[in-house]
Amino acid sequence: MAQFLLVHGAWHGAWCWKHVTESLIRAGHSAHAVTLTGLGERSHLLHRGIDLETHIQDVLQALDAEEMQNAILVVHSYAGMLGTAVADRRASRLKHLVYLDAVVPKPGESWSSTHASATQKARIDAAAESINNSFPPPDPAVFGLSAQGYEWVQRQQTPHPGGTYQHVLNFDAARVASVPRTFINCTVPPLATIDVARRRVMDPQFWDGLWQQNSRVIEMKTGHDPMISAPTELTALLLACAEA
């Protein structure tokens, strides 16, 4: 039995993994989806003091509370920052790290580091103007969603804590690279804020060549929220990661 720990990206919550967690459990595995502080059903906890370390601790605490060993950690979008930190601090507890159309940082970067200046300004300004230091979710159409998937995400998304945006993450790339990794590249349509990560995972010099060790890239011809737009296909890929 494999143990999956699933971490959502910005504006989302554990709710977005519903179809995938149900499928993984039906297949005989353990699957636990984390909701990060201030988001999803924990949006009532949103406050100005939430930062990247808050969310890193959310994931570490879930890993510990679920008593996971050899976990398959699946991190979506923004949560690539969190998965990188967890692999740095708990490499021995992870069997596989899946970056699902996710940020892949360099040491000393923040989530904002790879974004266009206009995106940075819009999010920083919105957080500064809000009462709780947060910025609002985008239209789900940018994730390639339509019909029921679009409506579900539009109903469920919540503002994201602004303190996570410019918080720098320091880590040992060699330690993270010791964990087998898969980057799932969602290409139809590609989300612009993940473009830098897409280039990095194909670059033989990324992390001074360490990224290429124990890593692979898989393409999914769907949008940025494959747990909603293509849950069956995503579940199959995650099960393959458990067997790798």
Amino acid identity, residue 202?
A: M
Four-residue CA torsion sign, 183, 67, 169, 21: positive
Q: Measured between alpha carbons, how far apart are the two ends of the chain, in Å?
A: 14
Whether 110 sits among the annotated catalytic residues: the reply is: no
Q: Which of 23, 30, 77, 178 is catalytic?
A: 77
What residues have CB less than 8 Å from 31, skipping those under 6 apart?
A: 4, 6, 17, 20, 21, 24, 25
Burial of 99 (0-12, 13-18, 19+ CB in 10 A): buried
Residues with catalytic roles: 77
